[in-house]
Amino acid sequence: MAGLPIKWLQKYCRRVGTASSWELRRHPPDIRFALAAAYCWQQEHGIIDALIDLLILVIHKIGVRAENKVEQELLNDLPRVRGKTNVLFKLAEAAIDEPDGIVKDVLYPVVGLETLKDLVKEFKASGPAYTKVVHKVIRSSYSNHYRRMLPQILDALEFRSNNTAHRPVIEALGLLKTYRDSTQQYFSTGDVVPIEGIVKGKWRDIVVEKDKNDKERINRINYEICVLQALRERLRSKEIWVLGAGPLP
């Protein structure tokens, strides 16, 4: 089947799909079996393609829903500070004019305390604190729901890559499968856990933790989320492909 033109296979598949079982049985065995094989071949590719699309969609939704939830909470609680540049200039000017003054006597009359609080909130919302809050929501959603579903999709797909640069993602998927039934919070010390190309810089402090002896250890759930996000990016760019997926027309 792999050596036949895709248009031929699609034609045979449509032919079987519109025929009744009685009509198919009227054909000689060689034609009947060939048509059935072409139909099954195409259906297999269609199922695998649908699973890939579902995997990409689910991983995307985990992150998007978390960001939307956090942003909505911030919008309800956070008044955006307008003219931040002018505010910071006034603060700097006041501090330079009276470097030995008391903060509440020098800065508060220039820029009110509430404005300063809003500036701090806005910075936290757009900086590392925001990233940690989003990850907390993603982790909660993934561990309570998606973690039970995604492994079944991953088990049904066999991932490949012709580029050695993307091998760490495939190796990480194998590691996740090895620990599928484990209750450990962290990977074992002797395990080789790929980090480069999987864990982005902003997530590193969340994934790579330190124990009481200041030794690094990899948080499993946080690492799994990063692996899935990396896998989604590689699938969308075709850097990683799935065995048995439909060929491009």
* pLDDT at res. 18: 84
Work out the average pLDDT over 169-185.
Answer: 91
SS3 at position 210: strand
SS3 at position 109: coil
CA pseudo-torsion sign 96, 98, 100, 102: negative
CA distance 65 to 133: 13
pLDDT(174) > 50 = yes
* pLDDT at res. 117: 65
* pLDDT at res. 96: 66
pLDDT(80) > 60 = no
pLDDT(47) > 80 = yes
Phi then psi for 6, rounded to 5 degrees?
Answer: -60, -35
Band (129; pLDDT cuts 50, 70, 90): low
- 71 versus 58: which is more confidently predicted? 58
pLDDT(75) > 90 = no
Work out the average pLDDT over 51-66.
Answer: 90
Task: Give pLDDT tens digits for 220-229.
Answer: 999 999 999 9
Band (186; pLDDT cuts 50, 70, 90): very high
- Find the distance separating the first CA and the last CA of the chain, reported in whole Å: 15
pLDDT(119) > 50 = yes
* pLDDT at res. 105: 65
Does pTM top 0.75 for this prediction? no
Band (231; pLDDT cuts 50, 70, 90): very high
Of the candidates 125, 108, 8, the residue with the CA atom closest to the CA atom of residue 73? 125
The whole-chain average pLDDT of the chain stands at 80
* Residue 125 burial (CB count, 10 A): 18
Work out the average pLDDT over 17-28.
Answer: 86
pLDDT(106) > 50 = yes
Which two three-digit tokens encode residue 87? 């505010």
* pLDDT at res. 85: 58
Work out the average pLDDT over 175-190.
Answer: 89
On whether the CB atoms of residues 53 and 232 are closer than 8 A, the answer is no
